[in-house]
Structure 1
Amino acid sequence: MAEHIGQRIATRRRARRMTQADLAREAHVSLPMIKGCERGVRSPGPSTLEAIAAALSVDASRLDPAYVGTGRRVHAALPAISAAIAGYEFMPDAASQPLGQLRNDISTAVGFRLAAQYGPLAAQGPKFLRDALAYLHSAAGAQTEEAARLVVAAARTVDAVAYKFGAHDLSARLIEVMRWAAGHSKDPDLKACVAYVHAEIFLAARGYRVGQLALEQALNVGPAPNTERSMATLGALHMRTAVLAARAGSADVAYAHLNEARTLAQGLPEGIYLGTAFGPSNVRIHEVAVSVSLGRDHIGRALDVARAWSPGQEIPAERRSGFWIEVARAQLWSGNPDRAFACLKEARMHAPQHVREHPWAREDIGKIRRLKRADANSLTSYAEWIGAI
C-alpha cells in the first residue's frame, strides 16, 4: 500500500509542478520523508498523510483509499484537549520540552491552522498547550510577555480544531484560556487579537448583535494604530465586526467597519500578524463575506469582486477556501448552480479539510445536486465526499 500511496503523491506533486523540496516545505515534513514515501520505502502516518494531502490540495483519501478521515481522529482527540486546560489556572507540572522547541512547535502549529490541517493540530495540540501554560506559570518579568503570547497562539490553534468540528463548548473554554493569558500581558495588540477570536462564540450562538457590540467595545479600548502590527490587529477586528454587523442586518454599520479596515490596510504588506491574516487582499475577501452575510440584495457586490479578482497564494489556504465558499453561495442565490459548483470545487482545491467541515458548503452542494444543473456524477461524488448524502 505504501508504494501505491507514494505513486499517488508523486503524480499529484508533478501535476502541481512542485519539487519534492517544495512539498516538504509546504507540508512541514522532512525531505527524506517525502522521498521515502514516493519510493515506497516509508509509509506516512495519519498526521503526515493529512499534511501532505493539504499541501497538494487534495483530501487524504485521494492518496490513501483506506484513510478513515480527519473527523474521527479529531473527535478522538477532543477529551485530551479538554484535559490539557482543565487546570489552566494552576498547572503544577513543569514543561516537557525546552522553550526553543516549544516556540518552533507552536510556529509550525500556526502554519497548520492557516492551512486548515486539523489532524496534526488535534494530535499535537494538547502537549504544546500544556507546555505553554506551564511556561506562563513559571515566567517572571519580561518572560511573561512571551509566555502569554505562546499560550494564546497554542490555545488558538487547538481552538481551530474544536470550533471547526462543532465542539463549541470546548471552543468557548479555550477562548477563556486565551483571555486569561492575555490578562498577564501588557500588550494591547494581544488583547485585541483575543477579542477577534472571542467573536467565534457569538458566531456559533448566532448572537450577532451582541457580538458586534462586544467587538466595538474592544475597538474602543484597542491599541493605537502606530505600528504595522497594531494597524493590522485593529484592521482584522474591523473586518470581523463588519461580518457580525452584516449578519445582524446592519448594512451601513457593516460597510463602515469594512471601510475602516480598508483604510488601515493601505500600505500594509499582506501578512500574518499575531496569527491573523490581514492586508488589502484580506479586506477584499471580507467584502465578499459581508455582502453574502447581508443576503440576496447585496450579492451583486460579492459577484463583482469575484469577477475582477481572486485571492492568490499570499493568502492562507483556509481563507482562500472560505472566499470560494462565500462566492459559491452568491452564485447559487443568483441562479447559477453550475458556477456555484465550480466555486465549491475551487474551494476544495485550496483547503479540503476546511470545506468538508463547512456547514455552508455541505448545505449548498445538497441544493445544487437537487437542481441537477451540473454533471450528475461529479455532483454525487462531491456530495458523498462532503457528507451531504
Structure 2
Amino acid sequence: MNEEERAGVRIARVRKQRGMTQRALAERARVSKSMLAKVETGHASASTAWIGAIAQALGVDATRLTGAQDSPEQLHQLVPSIRRALASVDLIGDDIDPGSLELLREQVLQVNTWRRDTKYGRIGAVLPDLVEQLLAAARDYGEPAYALLADAYRASNTLAHKLGYADLSLTAMDRMEWAATHSGDPLLTATAHYLRAAALARIGAGKQALQLLDRTMNEVEPLIATDPEAAAVWTALHMRAGTITASLADADSTSEHIAEAARVAETVGNRVVYETTVGPANVNLHALAAAVDLGQIGKALQIANSTVLPQDMATERVSHFHLDVARAHLLNHRPDDAIEELHQARALAPEHFRASGTVKTALQTAAAQQRRATYGLRSLANYAGIQD
C-alpha cells in the first residue's frame, strides 16, 4: 500500500503546507496533541468525528484526508439515486398514486432492515421511487406518512455519509428533520437531531453538534420518567454526545455522558427504538469508540474483552464494534490482532467495509505498523479499494 495515501501522512502534509505545528493544529481542532502525533506517525487510527475536526481546522474537506471517496466504483453508482431521492419536496405530480399506507409502511420497514444490515445497493435501487410515493402519501395521509418519510430520508443519510458525501448527508438530515417535524412526534424529531449531530461532527462542527444535543436532551428529559421510548432516545443522545466529546479530547464530559447513557439504558434494555439501536450493549460500543479516541488503551481493551453482543444486534453495530476493537489494537501496536478484527468486520458487512473511510484509515495504519504488509492485509485493502 502507498504510504503517501495514509490519512496521517496526508494530515501532516497539509498541516506543514499551512505552516502549522502539531500543537497549533491540535489547539485549533480542539483535539489531543498526543492523539494527533499518533495518527500522523501511524500509531493510531482516527474516527470520522476526529478527522472532521482536523479537516475543519485545516480548511479542507475530510475526504481529502481519508480518501473516503476512493471506494469501489459500484458503490458510487448509488450517488445519483441519493441525489434524486433528496432533490425536491414540493414537485410531486397530482397523478402519483402512493397506494395504501400499510404497503408503504412495509416497504419502509424493509429499507430499515437493509440499512441495519448494510445492504446499501438494495436501498439505492428503491429509494428514489419510495421517497416520491411517500411525499404523495404525506399529501394524502398526513402525519403517519411523514413519519415513514423521515425513515426514508434517514436511509438516504446512511448512504451519503458511508460514501463520504458530507453535503448530501446534511441535505438528507434537513429533509429528515422537516419530515419528522411534520409527523407530530417530538421523539422522532429528537432522533433526527441525534443523527444531525453526527453529520455536524463529521464536518468538524463538534461544538454546534453538542449544542444541538444539549438542547434536544433538555426537551426530552421531562419525558423519560414516564415514557420508555423517551428514555431510549435519551440514552442515544448521551451516547452520541459521549463520542463527540471524546473526539474533542474532553474526557470528563465523555465520562459523564456515557455514565448517564448507561444508567438509563439499564431500564431500556437492548432493543431498537426509532430505528436506533439502544441498551447497555450499545452503550458499551460507544464507550469503546470514545476510549480509543481518548487514547485510553487499557480501558478500550477492557471494554472490548468484556462486551457480550446480543445475537440480534444490528449488523452495522456489530461491524462497528469489530472496527473499533481493531482501532484499539492499533493503538496498542498490535496490527495482526487488528487485521483479524477487520476480517470479521468485512465478513459481517462487506458493503459497509468497502465504503467506510474509517476502515481505510485503519487499514493504512495497520500497514504502517507492519514491517511488511501481509497477504491478509493486502487482500482487505484491495477489497476496500486501496491500491497496492
TM-score by length of 1: 0.76
What is the CA–CA distance in structure 2 between the aligned matches of 1:261 and 1:102, rounded to whole Å? Answer: 33
The aligned residue for residue 16 of structure 1 is: none
- Contact kept? 2:98, 2:137, Cα under 8 Å: no
Mapped to 1, the partners of 2:79 and 2:356 lie a distance apart of: 19
Contact 1:71/1:165 (<8 A) preserved: no
SS of aligned partner of 2:341 = helix
In the aligned structure 2, how far is the partner of 1:282 from the partner of 1:97?
Answer: 37
Query: SS of 1:266's equivalent?
Result: helix
Q: Corresponding residue for 1:138?
A: 140
1:230 aligns with 2:230: yes
CA–CA distance in 2 between the matches of 1:211 and 1:345? 32
Unaligned runs of 5+ in 2: 1-70
Find the counterpart in structure 2 of residue 80 from structure 1. 81
Give, as a single letter, the amino acid of the residue that structure 2 aligns with 1:356: R
1:158 is matched with 156
The answer as to 2:336 corresponding to 1:334 is: no
- Return the offset for 1:187: 1.6
| 2:316 pairs with 1:315 | no
Query: Which residues in structure 2 correspond to 1:117-128 (within 5 Å)?
Result: 117-128=119-130
Spell out the pairing of 1:169-184 with structure 2 (5 A cutoff): 169-184=167-182
1:378 aligns with 2:376: yes
2:186 to 182, 185, 188: 188
Aligned partner of 1:98 in structure 2 is 100
Q: Which residue of 2 aligns with 1:129?
A: 131
Kindly tell me the number of residue pairs found equivalent between the two proteins: 315
- Residue 272 of structure 1 aligns to a residue whose secondary structure is strand
Question: Contact 1:110–1:153 at 8 Å: present in 2 too?
Answer: yes
Cα deviations across residues 188-243 of structure 1 (Å, max 9, x unaligned)? 21111111111232122022122112111111112611222111111111101111
* Matched ranges for 1:138-287 at <5 A: 138-139=140-141, 144-222=142-220, 224-225=223-224, 226-287=226-287
Deviations along 1:153-173, whole A, 9 cap, x unmatched?
111112211110112211211
What residue number does 1:5 align with? none
| Partner SS state of residue 268, structure 2 | coil
Between the aligned partners of 2:132 and 2:110, the Cα distance in structure 1 is 16
Distance in 2 (alpha carbons) for counterparts of 1:316 and 1:146:
25
Contact 2:271 2:277 (C-alpha < 8 Å) held by counterparts: yes
Question: Distance in 2 between the 1:314 and 1:374 partners?
Answer: 38
Q: Secondary structure of 1:343's match?
A: helix
Structure 1 residue 313, shift from structure 2 partner: 2.3
State the AA in 2 paired with 1:103. R
The answer (yes or no) to whether the contact 1:338–1:374 under 8 Å persists in 2 is: no
Conserved? CA contact 2:85–2:156, under 8 Å: no
- Identity percentage of aligned residues: 30
1:290 is aligned to 2:294? no
**Residue 114 of structure 2 is aligned with which of 112, 115, 124?**
112
Q: Say whether the 8 Å CA contact 1:73–1:122 is kept in structure 2.
A: no
Change (3 A) 1:256 1:95: farther
Cα separation, partners in 2 of 1:357 and 1:340, compared to 1, 3 Å: same
| In 2, Cα distance between equivalents of 1:384 and 1:81 | 26
Describe the superposition over 1:299-329 as per-residue Cα deviations: whole angstroms up to 9, x where unpaired: 2211101122242422111111111111111
Q: 1:95 touches 1:134 (CA, 8 Å); kept in 2?
A: yes
Aligned residue type for 1:220:
N
TM-superposed CA distance for 1:254, in Å, is: 1.3
CA 1:340 to 1:161, structure 2 compared with 1: closer, same or farther past 3 Å? same
Q: After TM superposition, where is structure 1 displaced by more than 4 Å over at least 4 residues in a row? A: none
What is the one-letter code of the residue matched to 2:116?
L
> What is the CA distance between 1:348 and its match in structure 2?
1.5
* Distance in 1, Cα, partners of 2:191 & 2:174: 13
TM-score, normalization: structure 2? 0.76
**Distance across 2 between alignment mates of 1:317 and 1:375:** 28
The residue type equivalent to 1:125 in the other structure is: L
Separation of aligned partners in 1, 2:100 and 2:179? 20
Deviation at 1:87, TM superposition (A): 2.4
Question: Structure 1's 107 and 345: CA in aligned 2 closer, same or farther, altered over 3 A?
Answer: same
Q: Report deviation, 1:373.
A: 6.1
Q: Is the 8 A contact 2:367 2:373 kept in 1?
A: no
Structure 2 CA distance for aligned equivalents of residues 251 and 104 of structure 1: 43
* Deviation readout 1:314-350 (Å, 9 max, x if unpaired): 2111111111111111111111111111111122222
The equivalent of 2:353 in structure 1 is 355
CA–CA separation in structure 2 for the residues paired with 1:89 and 1:241: 34
The answer to which of 98-107 and 367-376 deviates more is: 367-376
Show the counterpart of 2:33: none
Mapped contact 2:72–2:384 kept (Cα < 8 A): no
Identify the residue that residue 45 of structure 1 maps to in structure 2.
none
**Using the alignment, how far apart are the partners of 1:188 and 1:168 within structure 2?**
26
Change (3 A) 1:315 1:237: same
